[in-house]
Amino acid sequence: MIPSRLSLITYNLWLTERWPARARALERFLKLFAPDVLCVQELQRPTQEFLDGVLKEHDRVRDPFSGWTNESNIYWSKALFESVSSRRPISPAPGIETRVRAASHRECGNSSKSPTSSRGSCVGPSRHFSWGT
């Protein structure tokens, strides 16, 4: 069963822009708010390695599609969720001038390790749109 309090955070990492100066602040933020699910945008290899180190009790999408490392990813608490499936990027509707960056989602089910587990599931989206001019 999903707990009565579920913390879901979405965070734009700004690629690696001023990353050394922002890394400590992000680590404090994540420890303070302790998200059960974290959806990130503008992910890069250094920021992914950082998040993997800080969020040791979480898992993330591990898929050969490069967008999960170079654009967006979804981290979830291993105590609450386990991976069920993921969807690859989708195309925008015809006529919409946008560049879709790693528009994907991950479906997670309640963890079978949880003592209050039922077999429901939830979907965590990760979308990043850059609108054309």
51 is a domain residue: yes
Report the percentage of the chain scoring pLDDT > 90: 44
Q: Residue 110, SS3?
A: strand
3: pLDDT strictly greater than 70: no
Residue scoring higher pLDDT (132 or 84): 84
Residue type, 95: G
Q: Which of 68, 74, 82, 41 is nearest to 55 (CA)?
A: 74
Tally the domains of the chain: 1
What is residue 70's predicted lDDT score, i.e. its pLDDT? Answer: 87
Q: Is the pLDDT of residue 116 over 50?
A: no
Average pLDDT over the chain reads 75
For the segment 8-31, the average pLDDT, to the nearest whole number, is 94
Residue 2 lies in a domain: no
Establish if 61 belongs to a structural domain.
yes
Question: What integer is the mean pLDDT of 57-71?
Answer: 87
- Establish if 33 belongs to a structural domain: yes
Q: CB-based contacts of 101: which residues, under 8 Å, 6+ apart?
A: 41, 67, 71, 72, 128, 129, 130
Residue 85 belongs to some domain of the structure: yes
- Beta carbons of 84 and 51 less than 8 angstroms apart: no
CA nearest neighbour of 36 among 72, 63, 10: 10
Given pLDDT bands bounded at 50, 70 and 90, which one contains residue 5?
confident
- The per-residue pLDDT for range 72-108, each reduced to its tens digit, is 999 999 998 887 766 554 444 444 444 444 444 444 5
**Residue scoring higher pLDDT (49 or 129):** 49
Evaluate whether residue 37 is within a structural domain.
yes
> What does the alpha-carbon distance between residue 133 and residue 60 come to, in Å, rounded to a whole number?
33
Range of the domain at 27: 8-131
Q: Is residue 20 assigned to a domain?
A: yes
Residue 14 belongs to a domain with what CATH number?
Answer: 3.60.10.10
In a domain, 1, yes or no: no
